[in-house]
Amino acid sequence: MKRKNKYPEYTDKDWAKLASILSDETIEENDLLTRFRADDGFDTIKNWKEIKKMNNDKEIDVDKAWNKLFNRLHENGLVETPATVVKSLNYSTLLRVAAGILVLISLSTAAYLIFNRYIENSRIVVSTEMNQKNLQVTLPDGSIVYLNRNTSISYNKNSGKAEREVTLTGEAFFDITPDPQKPFVVDAGEANVIVKGTSFNVISSNSGEAVEVYVQTGRVVLSDNSGNKSIELDPGFIGTMKNNLPSKVLNNDPNYLAWNTGRLVYDGQTLETVFNDLKKVYNMDIIADDPEILLKTWTSPIDNQPQETIIRLICASFNLNFTKVEDTYHLSAIK
């Protein structure tokens, strides 16, 4: 199909002459050029000329480009021979080899970054602050975790498909869905806690110096990171891993899990013990103005009651007054 001529008033001879004029370094005015300047085609051809001129100005210095590339490879230890020695070799071959090396480096770097970004994005992190506790988290396999204050866990969003593992810093109570084929592992820093289906409490100190595990139901294995030293824990036992040395004792504290249940029980414990428990469980700061107050004993349970209700109950029992300064309760004897 014949293309329609946009400028029928110009003959082939005119076009040839225009090409000759425009290809020259200086464009002299003449009737044909003056007439063609009035058409929009002039700007297009002029742009072609400018582009051609730019390309001509940027001639590639192959020697310089090769030496620069080879020196960079040599500085990074990718080649051992200085650039000046191989200069006599075939540049085309060397450039192809160098380009291949750079492509491999780029692909390796990209793959590393993508893989790490994928790993980072595939993990879910859940954290609590000082004023939070009993945050419930349901893992992909159906297991439930309760987080105490200042605690964080991270786990793979696909946890349960190939493996079941969480990383813990702080304190948490685990109620694990049984799966004999896929043990559940808690990475607590200093040690690993391995179970198949049970409920237990783990304390992983922020300093990473020790890990403590209390077993409520089932059986738990507490192991150092190498797997060389481990102990099995039955219900009611507390296991500790410190300095890669495992140990266990029978728990005799009825309020060990009170941070999770909210229930404290006492049978003649001193108020000093009660106040320490209230700090851990209810985040209450209590100061006795008279040390004698701390020696009084308490026998009533405290079960998920508001802070002020607890303080009023204690004061009524021992004829005490209280004042609250910011977040701290001050107790004094009524005179």
224 in the same domain as 289: no
| Residue of 294, 287, 280, 298 whose CA lies nearest to 322 | 287
Q: Lowest-pLDDT range, 119-123, 149-153, 322-326?
A: 119-123
HSE, CB side, 13 Å, CA atoms: give it for residue 33.
15
Of 89 and 155, the one with more pLDDT: 155
104 in the same domain as 132: no
Global pTM reads 0.62
Q: Tens digit of pLDDT for each residue in 219-229?
A: 999 999 888 89
- How many percent of the chain have pLDDT more than 90? 52
134 in the same domain as 69: no
d(CA 311, CA 321): 9
Q: Tens digit of pLDDT for each residue in 271-294?
A: 999 999 999 999 999 999 999 999
Is 105 domain-assigned? yes
Per the structure, the complete domain to which residue 77 belongs is given by: 62-119
Is 192 domain-assigned? yes
Using CA atoms, how far residue 267 sits from 239, 253, 273, 274, in Å, is 26, 12, 11, 11
HSE, CB side, 13 Å, CA atoms: give it for residue 102.
11
d(CA 251, CA 71): 68
Of 250, 270, 286, the domain-final residue:
250
| Residue of 150, 130, 147, 134 whose CA lies nearest to 283 | 130
